[in-house]
């Protein structure tokens, strides 16, 4: 189901480009690494997050732009920027971000870490004892797993894995067979650690590390005995990683996906990263081989893969250089009562992660296996990880002979292999595993237990804004609602029936569902606030999403603003709406929060003449979520919980003057600075909800 066609009353100048807006988000993340108020090891982690985000940006977004150019598309989106122009703008902005990123690493963060006794040693700084240990390590651990390949007609350029570490070596001389190609490629197997800790010794910093690239550079000549090494250069290639599955040809989605996953590592190249000491001759050779231009070249003054430093804070036992630990709290009803079913029969329960524990959701799944009264369970799974206690409980429930149905999304990007593995295990245990509706990713977060109580069956439901992934619930902000509301339970049962069976979509009592009613209901709710304002009463909208890109929703917000509706939008990532433009959007404010936790919950607030309608959702305000995914938005009906969502999910964020960035009409962001008392939403939530935050 595609977005309904409509004629926009607005021109391209009224919209901001998605890719350029997404790069603005990377700048906000980079600012966390530059902020001296951020603990030092966390600054390093934020720096690595930028690299990880840019990797995916190239794998998916930039590869998409290049595909548009290949197919001859004239415009990339509602903003009207031509694909070739956009690719040039993206390249220029990423080059600027990288320059700032490496300057921050080399001139600020690494020297500050060294002063704290956390040292990443360059080759020229090794003393004789360290050099001897590293040489021995190279011979023991590195040489046995390397396969240097000299390029000649019998040895063509090897296949280079996506984002793998490689070395291009310039050589002079003839080998034992008389060959003198002058070039060799050394691929660093993924089994080798990219960062190596040196043994402790007196007089040396407690945490002393060297990079694998430095180790190999120092001893690369031992791989080519009798030849002269003129240069050894790190390089890394990023490839198109979007999977293609032909809807008309596919007969077994899981089987075809397995085949596609094998090719993901070898898609078309979209970016070449090299160390800045790489010779021009080698740069030209690599660009020609990977069919890339100079704009696709990214030269780095340091290691080419900063993502490998992401785990460094975990290797260093320095709590004073990290965020303070905290214990997630529990809502009072669950803290005071051990029977979760009794609690839910009495009232709905709202969980606010990571400030409150995810344990009640795990407890529900455990009960599915252990409670004899539970007869069936149904669950959607988008991302859950390779090691998941939730999935283990589902397997155990199926093994006990209970009715288990899992809607498992095989096309969850970069989690496909883990999900295929879980699908196999669940089926072997006797569970019903379905892959949703082909062409529509199942992104809704739904869990339903059916329990026999006396002479009736009762549904217990969990609805969430985030994934059933115990690890990400520790650092993603999300809401989860636990309820046994009968009408909501019927709606959830109907959604499962639609996904697993056949039939027309039914009208739901409470849930808004994509691809059917979610976007029309959002636009209609905005329209009602517009009519209220036109009638002279107060119109008010507050929304919190990860992305705001749907043109029709943006146009509805523009119209609401022009009618006098007061609108606040909290957008973590890309936003195509221009706020604060006179005559267009002067009543709209857009802000973004970037802090310790990844902002992930989606919230909609409509004042509705004082009735205050609040919905939580798994969906962002994007065409793909509205029309190409199965999503839900669910209402918060309990007045007490409404007040909590309004306070914790929206007002705290609107009061934030420390980690908040305000969007300007041109798409740039300005960071808020406190004039008096500093207020950070995430810190306020830790204080209010965590046990020792």
**Could you tell me if 486 and 533 lie in one domain?**
no
Residue 419's CB: how many other CB atoms inside 10 A? 25
**Could you tell me if 284 and 395 lie in one domain?**
no
Between residues 502 and 330, the one the model is more confident about: 330
Burial of 502: CB neighbours in 10 Å, binned 0-12, 13-18, 19+:
exposed
- Look at residue 633 in the predicted model and tell me its pLDDT: 98
173: region left, alpha or beta (phi > 0 left; psi from -120 to 50 alpha): left
**Could you tell me if 122 and 266 lie in one domain?**
yes
Q: Give the pLDDT band (50/70/90) at residue 21.
A: very high
- Look at residue 516 in the predicted model and tell me its pLDDT: 95
- Look at residue 672 in the predicted model and tell me its pLDDT: 94
- For residues 515 and 628, is the Cβ–Cβ distance under 8 A? yes
- For residues 620 and 602, is the Cβ–Cβ distance under 8 A? yes
Establish if 186 belongs to a structural domain: yes
Is 6 assigned a catalytic role? no
Interval 325-347 mean pLDDT: 92
The CATH number linked to 67 is 3.30.1840.10
As a whole-number percent, the residues of the chain with pLDDT over 70 amount to: 92
| Segment 632-652, tens digit of pLDDT | 999 999 999 999 999 999 999
Establish if 375 belongs to a structural domain: yes
Whether 235 has a pLDDT exceeding 50, the answer reads yes
Whether 414 has a pLDDT exceeding 90, the answer reads no
Range of the structural domain that residue 431 is part of: 332-504
Considering only 13-27, 143-157, 272-286, which range has the smallest mean pLDDT?
143-157
Structural domain ending residue among the three candidates 462, 487, 504: 504
Q: Which residues of 431-470 are buried (b: 16+ CB within 10 A; e: fewer)?
A: bebebbbeebbbbbbbbbbbbeeeeeebbbbbbbbbbbbb
**Could you tell me if 307 and 375 lie in one domain?**
no
Q: Which residues contact 317 (CB under 8 A, 6 or more apart)?
A: none
Establish if 1 belongs to a structural domain: no
**Could you tell me if 301 and 358 lie in one domain?**
no
Q: Which helix (H) or strand (E) holds 218?
A: helix 212-219
- Look at residue 211 in the predicted model and tell me its pLDDT: 95
Between residues 158 and 689, the one the model is more confident about: 689
**CA dist., res. 157 & res. 153, Å (int):** 9
Considering only 68-72, 198-202, 598-602, which range has the smallest mean pLDDT?
68-72
- Look at residue 1 in the predicted model and tell me its pLDDT: 54
**Could you tell me if 314 and 440 lie in one domain?**
no
Establish if 248 belongs to a structural domain: yes
Helix (H, G, I), strand (E, B) or coil at 594: coil
**CA dist., res. 570 & res. 661, Å (int):** 10
- For residues 478 and 464, is the Cβ–Cβ distance under 8 A? yes
How many helices (H) and strands (E) would you count in the chain? 22, 27
- Look at residue 263 in the predicted model and tell me its pLDDT: 52
**Could you tell me if 265 and 313 lie in one domain?**
yes
Average pLDDT score, the chain: 90
Strands lying side by side in the sheet with 207-211: 118-121, 207-211, 195-197
Scanning 583-660, the segments in alpha helix (DSSP H) are: 623-627, 639-644, 652-655
- Look at residue 7 in the predicted model and tell me its pLDDT: 57
Cα angle: 108, vertex 112, 118; to 5 degrees: 130
Q: Which residues of 529-540 are buried (b: 16+ CB within 10 A; e: fewer)?
A: bbebbeeeeebb
Torsion angle of alpha carbons 553, 555, 558, 562, nearest 10°? -120
Establish if 244 belongs to a structural domain: yes
Q: Give the pLDDT band (50/70/90) at residue 278.
A: very high
Between residues 11 and 579, the one the model is more confident about: 579
Interval 234-238 mean pLDDT: 95
| Segment 170-222, tens digit of pLDDT | 988 776 656 666 889 999 998 999 999 999 999 889 999 999 999 999 999 99
Q: Quote the number of domains for the chain.
A: 3
Q: Give the pLDDT band (50/70/90) at residue 600.
A: very high
Interval 336-355 mean pLDDT: 93
Between residues 78 and 623, the one the model is more confident about: 623
Give the residue from 659, 538, 539, 524 showing the smallest Cα distance to 594: 659
- Look at residue 257 in the predicted model and tell me its pLDDT: 43
Interval 28-44 mean pLDDT: 97
User: How far is CA 382 from its chain centroid?
Assistant: 13
Q: Which position among 14, 353, 443, 469 bears the catalytic label?
A: 443
The CATH number linked to 639 is 3.30.870.10
Establish if 140 belongs to a structural domain: yes
- Look at residue 77 in the predicted model and tell me its pLDDT: 67
| Segment 382-392, tens digit of pLDDT | 877 777 888 88
Torsion angle of alpha carbons 369, 371, 376, 381, nearest 10°? -40
- For residues 228 and 172, is the Cβ–Cβ distance under 8 A? yes
**Could you tell me if 350 and 312 lie in one domain?**
no
- Look at residue 622 in the predicted model and tell me its pLDDT: 96
**CA dist., res. 542 & res. 590, Å (int):** 10
Establish if 28 belongs to a structural domain: yes
Establish if 2 belongs to a structural domain: no
* The most confident of 202-216, 333-347, 515-529, by mean pLDDT: 515-529
Structural domain ending residue among the three candidates 504, 536, 559: 504
**Could you tell me if 522 and 558 lie in one domain?**
yes
Structural domain ending residue among the three candidates 504, 526, 554: 504
Q: What are phi and psi of 638, to 5 degrees?
A: -70, 120
**Could you tell me if 399 and 260 lie in one domain?**
no
Whether 5 has a pLDDT exceeding 70, the answer reads no
Interval 391-406 mean pLDDT: 90
**Could you tell me if 628 and 601 lie in one domain?**
yes
**CA dist., res. 413 & res. 638, Å (int):** 35
| Segment 420-443, tens digit of pLDDT | 777 888 888 888 888 877 788 889
Whether 676 has a pLDDT exceeding 60, the answer reads yes
- pTM above the 0.85 mark? yes
| Segment 80-111, tens digit of pLDDT | 899 999 999 999 999 999 999 999 999 999 99
**Could you tell me if 552 and 474 lie in one domain?**
no
The residue written with tokens 């985030």 in the block is 466
Residue by residue, DSSP assigns 76-120 as SSTT---HHHHHHHHHHHHHHHHHHHHHHIIIIIHHHHHHTTEEE
């Amino acid at each position: 189901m595609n977005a309904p066609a409509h004629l926009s009353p607005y021109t391209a100048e009224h919209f901001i480009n998605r890719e350029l807006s997404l790069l603005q988000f990377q700048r906000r993340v980079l600012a966390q690494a530059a902020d001296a108020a951020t603990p030092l090891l966390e600054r390093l982690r934020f720096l690595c997050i930028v690299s990880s985000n840019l990797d995916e940006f190239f794998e998916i977004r930039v590869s998409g732009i290049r595909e548009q150019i290949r197919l001859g598309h004239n415009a990339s989106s509602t903003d009207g920027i031509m694909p070739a122009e956009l690719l040039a703008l993206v390249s220029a902005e990423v080059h600027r971000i990288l320059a700032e990123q490496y300057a921050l690493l080399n001139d600020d963060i690494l020297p500050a870490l060294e002063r704290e006794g956390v040292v990443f040693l360059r080759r020229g700084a090794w003393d004789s004892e360290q050099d001897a240990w590293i040489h021995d390590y190279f011979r023991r651990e590195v040489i046995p797993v390397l396969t240097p390949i000299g390029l000649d007609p019998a040895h063509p350029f090897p296949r280079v894995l996506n984002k793998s570490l490689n070395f291009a070596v310039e050589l002079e001389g003839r080998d034992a067979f008389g060959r003198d190609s002058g070039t060799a490629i050394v691929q660093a197997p993924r089994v080798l650690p990219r960062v190596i800790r040196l043994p402790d010794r007196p007089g040396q910093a407690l945490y002393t590390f060297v990079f694998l690239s430095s180790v190999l550079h120092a001893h690369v000549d031992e791989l080519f005995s009798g030849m002269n090494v003129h240069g050894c250069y790190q390089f890394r290639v990023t490839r198109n990683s979007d999977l293609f599955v032909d809807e008309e040809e596919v007969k077994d989605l899981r089987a075809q996906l397995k085949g596609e996953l094998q090719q993901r590592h070898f898609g078309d190249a979209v970016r070449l990263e090299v160390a800045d000491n790489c010779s021009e001759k080698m740069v030209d050779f690599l660009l020609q081989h990977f069919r890339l231009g100079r704009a696709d070249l990214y030269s780095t003054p340091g290691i080419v893969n900063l993502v490998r430093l992401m785990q460094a804070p975990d290797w260093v036992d320095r709590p004073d250089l990290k965020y303070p630990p905290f214990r997630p709290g529990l809502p009072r009803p669950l803290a005071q009562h051990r029977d979760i079913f009794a609690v839910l029969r009495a009232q709905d329960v709202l969980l606010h992660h990571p400030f409150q524990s995810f344990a009640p959701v795990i407890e529900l799944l455990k009960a599915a296996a252990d409670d004899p009264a539970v007869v069936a369970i149904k669950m959607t799974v988008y991302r859950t990880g390779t090691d998941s206690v939730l999935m283990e409980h589902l397997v155990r429930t199926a093994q006990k002979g209970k009715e288990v149905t899992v809607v498992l999304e095989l096309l969850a990007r970069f989690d496909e292999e883990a999900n295929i593995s879980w699908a196999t295990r669940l089926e072997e245990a006797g569970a019903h595993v379905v892959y949703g509706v082909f062409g529509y990713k199942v992104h809704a977060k739904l869990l339903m237990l059916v329990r026999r109580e006396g002479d009736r069956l009762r549904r217990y439901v969990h609805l969430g804004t985030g994934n059933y992934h115990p690890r990400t619930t520790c650092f993603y902000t999300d809401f989860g609602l636990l309820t046994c509301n009968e009408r909501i339970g019927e709606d959830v049962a109907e959604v499962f029936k639609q996904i697993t069976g056949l039939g027309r979509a039914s009208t739901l009592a409470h849930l808004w569902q994509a691809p059917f009613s979610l976007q029309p209901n959002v636009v209609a709710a905005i329209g009602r606030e517009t009519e209220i304002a036109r009638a002279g009463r107060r119109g008010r909208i507050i929304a919190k999403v990860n992305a705001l890109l749907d043109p029709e929703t943006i146009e509805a917000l523009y119209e609401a603003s022009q009618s006098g509706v007061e609108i606040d939008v909290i957008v973590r990532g890309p936003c195509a709406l221009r706020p604060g433009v006179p005559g267009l959007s002067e009543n709209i404010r857009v802000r973004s929060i970037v802090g310790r936790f990844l902002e992930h919950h989606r919230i909609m607030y409509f004042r509705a003449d004082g009735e205050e309608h609040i919905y939580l959702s798994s969906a962002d305000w994007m065409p793909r979520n509205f029309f190409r995914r199965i999503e839900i938005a669910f209402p918060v009906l309990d007045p007490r919980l409404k007040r909590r969502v309004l306070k914790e999910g929206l007002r705290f964020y609107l009061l934030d003057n420390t980690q908040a960035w305000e969007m300007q009409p041109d798409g740039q962001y300005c960071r808020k600075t406190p004039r008096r008392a500093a207020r950070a939403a995430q810190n306020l939530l830790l204080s209010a909800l965590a046990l020792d935050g």
